[in-house]
Chain A
Protein backbone atom coordinates (compact mmCIF):
# COMPACT_ATOMS: atom_id res chain seq x y z
CA UNK A 1 0.00 0.00 0.00
CA UNK A 2 1.33 3.45 -0.90
CA UNK A 3 1.80 5.69 2.12
CA UNK A 4 -0.24 8.87 2.11
CA UNK A 5 1.85 11.98 1.46
CA UNK A 6 2.16 14.27 4.49
CA UNK A 7 1.48 17.94 3.92
CA UNK A 8 2.31 21.18 5.61
CA UNK A 9 0.13 24.25 5.59
CA UNK A 10 1.83 27.64 5.62
CA UNK A 11 0.13 30.90 6.51
CA UNK A 12 1.85 33.72 4.65
CA UNK A 13 1.62 37.43 5.28
CA UNK A 14 2.45 39.76 2.41
CA UNK A 15 3.88 43.23 2.89
CA UNK A 16 3.29 45.15 -0.31
CA UNK A 17 1.86 48.46 -1.41
CA UNK A 18 -0.14 47.01 -4.28
CA UNK A 19 -3.54 45.36 -4.00
CA UNK A 20 -3.22 41.61 -4.32
CA UNK A 21 -5.30 39.38 -6.51
CA UNK A 22 -6.29 35.82 -5.66
CA UNK A 23 -3.35 33.96 -7.18
CA UNK A 24 -0.71 36.71 -7.29
CA UNK A 25 1.15 35.58 -4.18
CA UNK A 26 0.84 31.90 -4.97
CA UNK A 27 2.22 32.48 -8.47
CA UNK A 28 5.15 34.41 -6.98
CA UNK A 29 5.86 31.52 -4.59
CA UNK A 30 5.61 29.02 -7.43
CA UNK A 31 7.97 31.08 -9.60
CA UNK A 32 10.44 31.37 -6.73
CA UNK A 33 10.40 27.60 -6.09
CA UNK A 34 10.82 27.00 -9.82
CA UNK A 35 13.71 29.46 -10.01
CA UNK A 36 15.57 28.07 -7.00
CA UNK A 37 14.89 24.33 -7.25
CA UNK A 38 13.82 23.85 -10.87
CA UNK A 39 11.00 21.75 -12.25
CA UNK A 40 12.09 18.69 -10.26
CA UNK A 41 11.94 20.59 -6.97
CA UNK A 42 8.66 22.27 -7.87
CA UNK A 43 7.10 18.92 -8.68
CA UNK A 44 8.28 17.50 -5.34
CA UNK A 45 6.95 20.53 -3.46
CA UNK A 46 3.42 19.87 -4.73
CA UNK A 47 2.27 23.44 -4.08
CA UNK A 48 -1.40 24.38 -3.82
CA UNK A 49 -3.17 27.52 -2.68
CA UNK A 50 -5.74 26.79 0.00
CA UNK A 51 -7.23 30.16 0.94
CA UNK A 52 -6.67 33.83 0.32
CA UNK A 53 -7.68 36.63 2.71
CA UNK A 54 -7.38 39.91 0.74
CA UNK A 55 -8.41 42.06 3.72
CA UNK A 56 -5.53 40.71 5.85
CA UNK A 57 -3.04 40.25 2.98
CA UNK A 58 -2.75 36.62 4.03
CA UNK A 59 -2.52 33.47 1.97
CA UNK A 60 -2.57 29.84 3.07
CA UNK A 61 -0.62 27.47 0.87
CA UNK A 62 0.05 23.76 1.09
CA UNK A 63 3.22 21.83 0.30
CA UNK A 64 4.79 18.44 0.82
CA UNK A 65 6.35 18.07 4.29
CA UNK A 66 9.59 16.85 2.70
CA UNK A 67 10.03 20.17 0.91
CA UNK A 68 8.97 22.48 3.73
CA UNK A 69 12.41 24.04 4.30
CA UNK A 70 12.94 24.58 0.58
CA UNK A 71 9.51 26.17 0.18
CA UNK A 72 10.23 28.42 3.17
CA UNK A 73 13.53 29.43 1.59
CA UNK A 74 11.76 30.17 -1.69
CA UNK A 75 9.14 32.24 0.14
CA UNK A 76 11.86 34.19 1.96
CA UNK A 77 13.66 35.04 -1.28
CA UNK A 78 10.63 36.80 -2.78
CA UNK A 79 11.50 40.50 -2.91
CA UNK A 80 9.00 41.68 -5.49
CA UNK A 81 5.54 40.74 -6.68
CA UNK A 82 4.43 42.01 -10.10
CA UNK A 83 7.53 44.24 -10.24
CA UNK A 84 6.55 45.98 -6.98
CA UNK A 85 8.81 45.58 -3.91
CA UNK A 86 7.25 43.12 -1.46
CA UNK A 87 8.11 40.80 1.40
CA UNK A 88 6.43 37.56 2.31
CA UNK A 89 6.68 36.37 5.90
CA UNK A 90 5.67 32.95 7.16
CA UNK A 91 3.25 33.47 10.06
CA UNK A 92 2.79 29.83 11.01
CA UNK A 93 3.33 26.29 9.77
CA UNK A 94 1.13 23.38 10.65
CA UNK A 95 0.21 19.86 9.67
CA UNK A 96 -3.53 20.52 9.59
CA UNK A 97 -5.68 23.48 8.67
CA UNK A 98 -7.44 23.26 12.02
CA UNK A 99 -4.26 23.75 14.05
CA UNK A 100 -3.04 26.42 11.61
CA UNK A 101 -6.17 28.48 12.25
CA UNK A 102 -5.48 28.23 15.99
CA UNK A 103 -1.89 29.49 15.51
CA UNK A 104 -2.72 32.47 13.27
Chain B
Protein backbone atom coordinates (compact mmCIF):
# COMPACT_ATOMS: atom_id res chain seq x y z
CA UNK B 1 0.00 0.00 0.00
CA UNK B 2 1.28 3.44 -0.95
CA UNK B 3 1.26 6.31 1.54
CA UNK B 4 0.44 9.65 -0.01
CA UNK B 5 1.27 13.13 1.16
CA UNK B 6 -0.11 16.49 0.13
CA UNK B 7 2.50 18.94 1.34
CA UNK B 8 0.55 22.08 0.56
CA UNK B 9 -3.03 22.37 1.69
CA UNK B 10 -3.85 26.07 1.96
CA UNK B 11 -6.49 25.93 4.68
CA UNK B 12 -8.03 29.15 6.03
CA UNK B 13 -6.51 29.08 9.53
CA UNK B 14 -9.03 31.61 10.89
CA UNK B 15 -11.96 29.38 9.88
CA UNK B 16 -11.80 26.26 12.05
CA UNK B 17 -14.81 24.60 10.43
CA UNK B 18 -13.48 24.97 6.89
CA UNK B 19 -10.04 23.77 8.05
CA UNK B 20 -11.63 20.70 9.60
CA UNK B 21 -13.62 20.00 6.42
CA UNK B 22 -10.57 20.28 4.19
CA UNK B 23 -8.41 18.07 6.41
CA UNK B 24 -11.23 15.51 6.61
CA UNK B 25 -11.57 15.62 2.82
CA UNK B 26 -7.81 15.01 2.43
CA UNK B 27 -8.16 11.93 4.60
CA UNK B 28 -11.18 10.69 2.61
CA UNK B 29 -9.31 11.20 -0.66
CA UNK B 30 -6.51 8.94 0.58
CA UNK B 31 -3.75 11.17 1.95
CA UNK B 32 -1.90 10.10 5.09
CA UNK B 33 0.21 13.23 5.54
CA UNK B 34 -0.90 16.82 5.09
CA UNK B 35 1.41 19.83 4.98
CA UNK B 36 -0.29 23.03 6.08
CA UNK B 37 1.55 26.32 5.52
CA UNK B 38 1.39 28.53 8.59
CA UNK B 39 2.27 32.21 8.99
CA UNK B 40 5.66 33.03 10.54
CA UNK B 41 4.03 34.46 13.66
CA UNK B 42 1.99 31.33 14.35
CA UNK B 43 1.54 30.46 18.02
CA UNK B 44 2.13 27.02 19.51
CA UNK B 45 -1.56 27.02 20.45
CA UNK B 46 -2.59 27.31 16.80
CA UNK B 47 -0.14 24.57 15.84
CA UNK B 48 -1.57 22.29 18.52
CA UNK B 49 -5.08 23.01 17.30
CA UNK B 50 -4.07 22.03 13.76
CA UNK B 51 -2.37 18.90 15.06
CA UNK B 52 -5.56 17.90 16.89
CA UNK B 53 -7.73 18.54 13.84
CA UNK B 54 -5.41 16.34 11.77
CA UNK B 55 -5.29 13.64 14.44
CA UNK B 56 -9.10 13.51 14.53
CA UNK B 57 -9.17 13.13 10.75
CA UNK B 58 -6.53 10.40 10.95
CA UNK B 59 -3.85 12.27 9.00
CA UNK B 60 -0.37 13.27 10.02
CA UNK B 61 0.21 17.03 10.31
CA UNK B 62 3.36 18.49 8.76
CA UNK B 63 4.21 22.07 9.70
CA UNK B 64 5.37 24.12 6.79
CA UNK B 65 6.37 27.67 6.05
CA UNK B 66 6.34 29.40 2.69
CA UNK B 67 9.07 32.02 2.44
CA UNK B 68 8.86 34.74 -0.16
CA UNK B 69 12.12 36.71 0.24
CA UNK B 70 12.98 39.78 -1.81
CA UNK B 71 16.68 39.01 -2.06
CA UNK B 72 19.22 36.38 -1.02
CA UNK B 73 20.17 38.21 2.19
CA UNK B 74 16.62 38.26 3.42
CA UNK B 75 16.35 34.54 2.53
CA UNK B 76 19.43 33.73 4.63
CA UNK B 77 18.02 35.76 7.51
CA UNK B 78 14.67 33.93 7.31
CA UNK B 79 16.35 30.53 7.11
CA UNK B 80 18.41 31.22 10.23
CA UNK B 81 15.26 32.28 12.03
CA UNK B 82 12.78 29.59 10.99
CA UNK B 83 14.67 26.43 9.99
CA UNK B 84 14.50 24.89 13.44
CA UNK B 85 10.84 25.75 13.96
CA UNK B 86 9.17 24.12 10.95
CA UNK B 87 9.35 20.69 9.33
CA UNK B 88 9.19 21.93 5.74
CA UNK B 89 10.63 25.14 4.35
CA UNK B 90 9.51 26.18 0.92
CA UNK B 91 10.87 29.19 -0.93
CA UNK B 92 8.87 31.07 -3.53
CA UNK B 93 11.60 32.20 -5.93
CA UNK B 94 10.68 35.45 -7.63
CA UNK B 95 14.17 36.64 -8.53
CA UNK B 96 17.23 34.94 -9.99
CA UNK B 97 19.25 35.96 -6.94
CA UNK B 98 16.83 34.18 -4.58
CA UNK B 99 16.57 31.02 -6.67
CA UNK B 100 20.40 30.71 -6.83
CA UNK B 101 20.69 30.99 -3.06
CA UNK B 102 17.67 28.75 -2.35
CA UNK B 103 18.89 26.04 -4.73
CA UNK B 104 22.31 25.77 -3.12
CA UNK B 105 21.19 26.09 0.50
CA UNK B 106 20.73 22.74 2.23
CA UNK B 107 18.16 24.22 4.60
CA UNK B 108 15.65 24.73 1.80
CA UNK B 109 13.37 21.78 1.08
CA UNK B 110 11.16 22.94 -1.75
CA UNK B 111 11.56 25.41 -4.58
CA UNK B 112 8.38 27.09 -5.77
CA UNK B 113 7.87 29.33 -8.76
CA UNK B 114 5.19 31.70 -9.93
CA UNK B 115 2.32 30.00 -11.77
CA UNK B 116 1.08 33.11 -13.51
CA UNK B 117 4.24 34.92 -14.56
CA UNK B 118 6.39 32.64 -16.73
CA UNK B 119 9.23 35.19 -16.69
CA UNK B 120 9.65 34.49 -13.00
CA UNK B 121 10.16 30.76 -13.46
CA UNK B 122 13.94 30.61 -13.26
CA UNK B 123 14.39 26.84 -12.97
CA UNK B 124 17.13 26.03 -15.50
CA UNK B 125 20.03 23.55 -15.76
CA UNK B 126 22.29 25.51 -13.37
CA UNK B 127 19.62 25.78 -10.68
CA UNK B 128 18.78 22.10 -11.14
CA UNK B 129 22.40 21.08 -10.58
CA UNK B 130 22.64 23.19 -7.44
CA UNK B 131 19.30 21.86 -6.17
CA UNK B 132 20.35 18.27 -6.81
CA UNK B 133 23.50 18.66 -4.70
CA UNK B 134 21.64 20.51 -1.92
CA UNK B 135 18.80 17.93 -1.84
CA UNK B 136 16.16 20.53 -2.62
CA UNK B 137 13.10 19.46 -4.56
CA UNK B 138 11.04 21.19 -7.21
CA UNK B 139 7.47 21.70 -6.05
CA UNK B 140 4.66 21.70 -8.57
CA UNK B 141 1.29 22.98 -7.42
CA UNK B 142 -1.69 21.44 -9.18
CA UNK B 143 -4.47 23.87 -8.21
CA UNK B 144 -3.33 26.56 -10.69
CA UNK B 145 -3.58 24.00 -13.50
CA UNK B 146 -7.24 23.54 -12.59
CA UNK B 147 -7.96 27.22 -12.04
CA UNK B 148 -6.21 28.92 -14.93
CA UNK B 149 -8.02 29.83 -18.13
CA UNK B 150 -7.04 27.55 -21.07
CA UNK B 151 -5.08 30.38 -22.73
CA UNK B 152 -2.82 30.82 -19.66
CA UNK B 153 -2.76 27.10 -18.89
CA UNK B 154 -1.06 26.43 -22.22
CA UNK B 155 1.99 28.51 -21.17
CA UNK B 156 2.11 26.95 -17.72
CA UNK B 157 1.96 23.39 -19.05
CA UNK B 158 4.60 24.14 -21.65
CA UNK B 159 6.91 25.63 -19.00
CA UNK B 160 6.26 22.72 -16.61
CA UNK B 161 7.13 20.23 -19.34
CA UNK B 162 10.54 21.89 -19.78
CA UNK B 163 11.18 22.09 -16.03
CA UNK B 164 10.27 18.46 -15.46
CA UNK B 165 12.71 17.44 -18.17
CA UNK B 166 15.49 19.57 -16.61
CA UNK B 167 14.73 18.16 -13.15
CA UNK B 168 14.77 14.61 -14.48
CA UNK B 169 18.12 15.14 -16.21
CA UNK B 170 19.71 16.62 -13.07
CA UNK B 171 17.99 14.06 -10.80
CA UNK B 172 16.17 16.72 -8.80
CA UNK B 173 13.20 15.18 -6.97
CA UNK B 174 9.79 16.55 -7.87
CA UNK B 175 7.10 17.02 -5.26
CA UNK B 176 3.49 17.38 -6.34
CA UNK B 177 1.16 19.24 -4.03
CA UNK B 178 -2.42 20.33 -4.44
CA UNK B 179 -2.11 23.98 -3.34
CA UNK B 180 -5.87 23.79 -2.83
CA UNK B 181 -7.59 26.70 -1.12
CA UNK B 182 -11.06 25.15 -1.10
CA UNK B 183 -12.51 21.66 -0.88
CA UNK B 184 -13.57 21.81 -4.52
CA UNK B 185 -9.95 22.12 -5.66
CA UNK B 186 -8.85 18.98 -3.84
CA UNK B 187 -8.33 15.79 -5.83
CA UNK B 188 -7.31 12.27 -4.91
CA UNK B 189 -3.67 11.18 -5.33
CA UNK B 190 -4.36 9.11 -8.43
CA UNK B 191 -6.30 11.99 -10.04
CA UNK B 192 -3.48 14.38 -9.22
CA UNK B 193 -0.99 11.91 -10.69
CA UNK B 194 -3.13 11.65 -13.84
CA UNK B 195 -3.12 15.45 -14.15
CA UNK B 196 0.66 15.36 -14.54
CA UNK B 197 0.27 13.47 -17.81
CA UNK B 198 -0.59 16.93 -19.18
CA UNK B 199 3.07 17.85 -18.85
CA UNK B 200 4.46 14.44 -19.76
CA UNK B 201 5.27 12.99 -16.34
CA UNK B 202 4.84 9.20 -16.42
CA UNK B 203 2.27 7.86 -13.95
CA UNK B 204 4.93 5.98 -11.98
CA UNK B 205 7.06 9.10 -11.42
CA UNK B 206 3.95 11.12 -10.57
CA UNK B 207 2.96 8.64 -7.87
CA UNK B 208 6.51 8.78 -6.53
CA UNK B 209 6.26 12.59 -6.42
CA UNK B 210 3.13 12.23 -4.30
CA UNK B 211 4.37 9.49 -2.00
CA UNK B 212 8.01 8.53 -1.49
CA UNK B 213 9.65 11.87 -2.40
CA UNK B 214 7.64 14.06 0.00
CA UNK B 215 7.71 11.37 2.69
CA UNK B 216 11.52 11.19 2.46
CA UNK B 217 11.78 14.97 2.93
CA UNK B 218 9.47 14.95 5.96
CA UNK B 219 11.26 11.96 7.49
CA UNK B 220 14.70 13.55 6.98
CA UNK B 221 13.63 16.86 8.52
CA UNK B 222 11.88 15.26 11.48
CA UNK B 223 15.05 13.33 12.10
CA UNK B 224 17.09 16.54 11.96
CA UNK B 225 14.71 18.38 14.29
CA UNK B 226 14.78 15.61 16.90
CA UNK B 227 16.92 16.32 20.01
CA UNK B 228 18.99 13.18 19.31
CA UNK B 229 20.30 14.47 15.99
CA UNK B 230 23.98 15.46 15.95
CA UNK B 231 25.09 15.49 12.30
CA UNK B 232 24.16 13.59 9.12
CA UNK B 233 24.52 9.91 10.02
CA UNK B 234 25.25 10.60 13.70
CA UNK B 235 22.55 10.29 16.33
CA UNK B 236 22.49 9.94 20.11
CA UNK B 237 21.29 6.42 20.78
CA UNK B 238 21.39 6.49 24.58
CA UNK B 239 21.96 9.09 27.29
CA UNK B 240 23.57 8.20 30.59
CA UNK B 241 23.80 10.21 33.73
CA UNK B 242 27.44 10.01 34.85
CA UNK B 243 27.11 11.79 38.22
Instruction: Please pick, from B147, B183, B194, B203, the residue contacting A15 in the complex, using a CB distance under 8 A.
Output: B183
Q: List residues of chain B with CB within 8 A of the CB of A15.
A: 183-184
Residues on B facing A (Cβ under 8 Å): 29, 145-147, 150, 183-188, 190-192, 194-198, 203
Interface size class of A (residues with CB under 8 A): 10 to 19
Instruction: Please pick, from B29, B188, B197, the residue contacting A70 in the complex, using a CB distance under 8 A.
Output: B197
Q: A87 contacts B183, CB within 8 Å?
A: yes
Q: B184 contacts A89, CB within 8 Å?
A: no
Complex CA distance for A75 and B194, rounded to whole angstroms? 10
Instruction: Please pick, from B29, B147, B197, B198, the residue contacting A79 in the complex, using a CB distance under 8 A.
Output: B147
Complex CA distance for A15 and B188, rounded to whole angstroms? 13
Q: B184 contacts A77, CB within 8 Å?
A: no
Residues on A facing B (Cβ under 8 Å): 15, 35-36, 69-70, 72-73, 75-77, 79, 85-87, 89-90
A62 vs chain B, min Cβ distance (A): 17
Q: A89 contacts B29, CB within 8 Å?
A: yes
Complex CA distance for A89 and B184, rounded to whole angstroms? 10
Q: A79 contacts B185, CB within 8 Å?
A: yes
Complex CA distance for A15 and B192, rounded to whole angstroms? 17
A47 vs chain B, min Cβ distance (A): 15
Q: A89 contacts B191, CB within 8 Å?
A: yes
Q: B191 contacts A90, CB within 8 Å?
A: yes
A41 vs chain B, min Cβ distance (A): 11
B142 vs chain A, min Cβ distance (A): 8
B224 vs chain A, min Cβ distance (A): 34
Q: List residues of chain A with CB within 8 A of the CB of B191.
A: 72-73, 75-76, 89-90
Instruction: Please pick, from A35, A76, A79, A87, the residue contacting B194 in the complex, using a CB distance under 8 A.
Output: A76
Q: A73 contacts B194, CB within 8 Å?
A: yes
Q: Closest 8 interchain pairs by CB?
A: A72-B194, A76-B191, A87-B184, A73-B194, A69-B197, A73-B195, A76-B187, A76-B195
Q: Given that A35-B150, A77-B145, A79-B146 are contacting pairs, would A89 and B195 also be in contact in the complex, using a CB cutoff of 8 Å? A: no
Q: A73 contacts B197, CB within 8 Å?
A: yes
Q: List residues of chain A with CB within 8 A of the CB of B145.
A: 77
